[in-house]
Structure 1
Amino acid sequence: MYVAVKGGEQAIARSLELLAEARRGDTAVPELELAQIREQLRLGVARVMQEGSLYDEELAALAIRQAAGDMLEAIFLLRAYRTTLPRFGYTQPLDTTAMRVRRRVSGTFKDIPGGQVLGPTYDYTQRLLEFDTTTPAVVKSAETPLPSNMPRVLDLLDAEALIERIDAGSDPEPMDLTREPLMFPADRATRLQNLARGDEGFLLSMAYSTQRGYAESHPFAGEIRMGEVDVVVCPEELGFAIEIGAVTLTECQMINQFHGGNGVPPQFTRGYGLSMGEGERKAMSMALVDRALRCDELAEPSYAPAQNQEFVLSHSDSVEASGFVQHLKLPHYVDFQAELSLLRTLAAQHATDTDEQPLSAAGGQRP
């Protein structure tokens, strides 16, 4: 522990008291309930769950309230709590083809099996502040219920052999990135794990760069779907699979330009993104970056930041990035004094070599 920090225990305790007061705010205003955060700030809750790597809306809402709305701090809180939890096993792969869809759109085909389902989205709203705080009445529509299962849009291209095929069950057993260190080069399953809990802003920036020419990218949104997916486990003591619940997921499949050569016919290639809860922007960004990181696999030139897996994967984690930047607020007195002493020595040597006397910035005095 830094001596300066240890000597300032009283100051730290007082700082924590002030933090609690600031977090609570005006006590005349009712305290924010977790149910309000969970229901009315659901997109913020979804982001905290995504980057916190823990699907629990109640805990994510608690972290947001405790962090006073600072999403990165809330993610940090949830990630730290996650490390205290025991692990009982792994679920079976989620079947997103059986998703109970609430939103499903495609930017490649107007008419798709099951139809375009706009669902809850800000895409068609006017970006104007709504000063009327009254809640509009909810109108129940008499629409035909959606099909329980909707076929994938990319299957239309797959039927004509116009898009690369991914054989079910062909992927090797993925490593657990939360228990094993990230090593390079990383395979695609590991990269997707990393991106799934990566910082949304960073991934958005990387995805944006690919569309501005900093990668071999000309994407189309093949399909974006959001809804509930069953979670299935197979306990050893039972020996058969059982459903233990459902989670809300957002899935994006991007279609990219033709690729061929070395015996491979011209075909579209894929980029994939998946996020917890309602996280469309995150899933789309993830899919674009995933495709960019496949450059070596697809024998494409690698020259852009989004194609450099070591750069992208090493800097995408919001918890690591936040901690590394914010640690600069801690005392570095000894380190700085060493740098300062060295600089004074070098400045004095420079003055001797040039027959000048080093002056300080204030008053022309010797340092």
Structure 2
Amino acid sequence: MYVAVKGGERAIENAHAWLAEERRGDPSVPELSIAQIREQLSLSVNRVMAEGSLYDPDLAALAIKQARGDLIEAVFLIRAYRTTLPRFGASNPVATADMACDRRVSATFKDVPGGQVLGPTFDYTHRLLDFKLAAEGETPPAPQREADPAPVPHVTGFLNQEGLIEEAPHDDTPPPDLTREPLKMPADRSLRLQALSRADEGFTLGLAYSTQRGYGRNHAFVGELRIGAVPVEMEIPELGFAIEIGEITLTECETVNQFTGSKTQAPQFTRGYGLVFGQTERKAISMALVDRALRWEELGEDDTGAPAQDAEFVLYHADNIQATGFLEHIKLPHYVDFQSELELVRKLRRDVQSTQTKEAAE
């Protein structure tokens, strides 16, 4: 390590102190509170919760503050903290059909029961800087909202009534827990979905984009994208029934994909699925596209060699914490390795020069 470099432990302590000073910034500027980060940088908070596999907006906001806004570092902090928490049980699967939707849109049907709900979205903004936001203290007027919107059915259910889309799989087998067990290949769909749900958003987005450009033949429609709150229930053995222990916000995306059929499957639409903590719709859509690309084998499709179809490539490289650790370890001391390679290169150069000298003499 760098302990032997100019001061040892004292140098490291000074580096920590300097980091804390840089994190704070100009002392004349008011310090950000956890509540401000949680409420006003909510999309960053949502990403940290999703990729950190821990639903706690306050802890995610604290991690963002501690990491100076570096979201991957914040995810690292959340995952490290998560490993210290005891596990006292498992909740029941959430029923997303009962979601109270703040946003719910479909690109496949114009008129759907419950209506299209645009909700809080950047989709229709002009992407122009709003300098009114620089006038601190101004609060935009709150829009009129329904209190406790009623749950609405999934749009893909309408296709399912006609048998035009594959049945959603039902498997009561407890899935493996990626937060407790290492990733093993081959990975079934439940394990792949876990990995994708906490995968790096940028990496997943790049893979999803590649499928749309032809690397995986993935022509998808957003059957439904919904964001809202769902209750979390847990079975209490002493009571003999489930009770609601809380409520979380989720983003769910179901894609409807073209499928011409195969030797084992009739022509029909197929599904891609994404489910992520918080309002993280770009990640949920990306996840659904990659999920569908990874299903080529079970649907009897040909392997085109596209990156998004290679489960081992996708799953082993999607985790930003593993990627960061392996990438950043190369900035740590590698003196012995480099010196050995340096000597090897010098020897090779001497051998080449010696050969050239002999050839010139002849």
Q: TM-score range by the shorter chain?
A: over 0.9
In structure 2, the partner of 1:59 is 59
Cα deviation digits, residues 93-132 of structure 1 (max 9, x gap): 1110000110000001110111000000000111001111
Instruction: Check the 8 A contact 1:114/1:147 in 2, yes or no.
Output: no
Q: What is the CA–CA distance in structure 2 between the aligned matches of 1:306 and 1:263, rounded to whole Å? A: 22
- The SS at the match of 2:227 is strand
Instruction: Check the 8 A contact 1:23/1:68 in 2, yes or no.
Output: yes
Alignment length, in residue pairs?
355
In structure 2, the partner of 1:203 is 204
In structure 2, the partner of 1:120 is 120
Structure 1: gaps spanning 5 or more residues: 358-367
Pair 1:131–1:140, CA change in 2 (3 A): closer
Given residue 30 of structure 1, which amino acid in structure 2 is its aligned partner? Answer: P
Instruction: Check the 8 A contact 1:258/1:268 in 2, yes or no.
Output: yes
Deviation at 1:92, TM superposition (A): 0.7
The within-5 A match list for 1:302-341 is 302=303, 303-341=305-343
**Residue 179 (structure 1) aligned with residue 196 (structure 2):** no
Cα deviation digits, residues 152-183 of structure 1 (max 9, x gap): 10011000000000243x35321011111211
The within-5 A match list for 1:1-367 is 4=4, 8-133=8-133, 134=135, 135-141=138-144, 147-168=149-170, 170-262=171-263, 264-302=265-303, 303-355=305-357
- The SS at the match of 1:204 is helix
Pair 1:11–1:152, CA change in 2 (3 A): same
Deviation at 1:347, TM superposition (A): 1.8
Instruction: Check the 8 A contact 1:230/1:245 in 2, yes or no.
Output: yes
Q: What is the CA–CA distance in structure 2 between the aligned matches of 1:43 and 1:167, rounded to whole Å? A: 31
When structure 1 is superposed on structure 2, of 218-227 and 231-240 the one drifting more is 231-240
Cα deviation digits, residues 285-331 of structure 1 (max 9, x gap): 00000000001111112210010000000000011111111111111
Q: What is the CA–CA distance in structure 2 between the aligned matches of 1:188 and 1:313, rounded to whole Å? A: 11
Q: What is the CA–CA distance in structure 1 between the aligned matches of 2:249 and 2:38, rounded to whole Å? A: 14
Pair 1:296–1:263, CA change in 2 (3 A): closer
Deviation at 1:57, TM superposition (A): 0.3
- The SS at the match of 1:282 is helix
Q: TM-score, normalised by structure 2?
A: 0.94
Pair 1:263–1:54, CA change in 2 (3 A): closer
When structure 1 is superposed on structure 2, of 197-206 and 329-338 the one drifting more is 329-338
Pair 1:144–1:71, CA change in 2 (3 A): closer
Q: What is the CA–CA distance in structure 1 between the aligned matches of 2:358 and 2:50, rounded to whole Å? A: 59
Q: What is the CA–CA distance in structure 2 between the aligned matches of 1:50 and 1:296, rounded to whole Å? A: 28
Instruction: Check the 8 A contact 1:192/1:290 in 2, yes or no.
Output: yes
Instruction: Check the 8 A contact 2:259/2:270 in 1, yes or no.
Output: yes
Q: What is the CA–CA distance in structure 2 between the aligned matches of 1:327 and 1:5, rounded to whole Å? A: 17
Deviation at 1:237, TM superposition (A): 2.9
Identity %, equivalent residues: 60
